[in-house]
Amino acid sequence: MKIVVGSDHAGFPMKAEVLAFLKESGHEVLDVGSFDPAPVDFPDIARKVAAAITTGEAERGLMVCGTGVGASIGANKMKGIRAAVCHDVHSAHQCVEHDDVNVMCIGAQIVGPWLARDLIAAYLGATFSTAEEFRRRVAKLAIMDDER
């Protein structure tokens, strides 16, 4: 799977671990920054992650910031993006299965690299359910995108 990865400065140290794990797992990776620990605004990175997904350049995205919250807020501002903060394995797979999340956000100040690997594996291993109830709900989210 082709994955776009982005981080702000707070997530930058963990991003190296994330990139290594993705490559070890056989995924193709698009890194959209940040590329050093200098301060960067997470909305700028969220825009790059979202663009890679909405243009089809990547199938899913991962963002790492301090808590995951800012990254999620920024990504969710972009049409066609469904981003979620995930700090437990259940949420990491269920957000895809039930909500068709296409950007998972994690907080480098909240989880360590070992848990981040488990979260990423659960997220990327999940598929969107074929159940009508989940499809109907996600379709309503798409309608809400168009109402902006």
pLDDT (tens digit per residue) in 18-49: 999 999 999 999 999 999 999 999 999 999 99
Whether residue 130 has pLDDT greater than 90? yes
The catalytic site residues sit at 65, 98
pLDDT over 90, % of the chain: 97
Q: Tell me, what's the pLDDT at 112?
A: 94
State mean pLDDT over 60-80. 96
Whether residue 147 has pLDDT greater than 90? no
Q: Tell me, what's the pLDDT at 63?
A: 98
State mean pLDDT over 69-76. 96
Split at pLDDT 50, 70, 90, the class of 123 is very high
Q: Tell me, what's the pLDDT at 76?
A: 96
Three-state secondary structure of the chain: CEEEEEECCCCHHHHHHHHHHHHHCCCEEEECCCCCCCCCCHHHHHHHHHHHHHCCCCCEEEEEECCCHHHHHHHHCCCCCCEEECCCHHHHHHHHHHHCCCEEEEECCCCCHHHHHHHHHHHHHCCCCCCHHHHHHHHHHHHHHHCC
Whether residue 148 has pLDDT greater than 80? no
Q: Tell me, what's the pLDDT at 146?
A: 87
Whether residue 107 has pLDDT greater than 80? yes
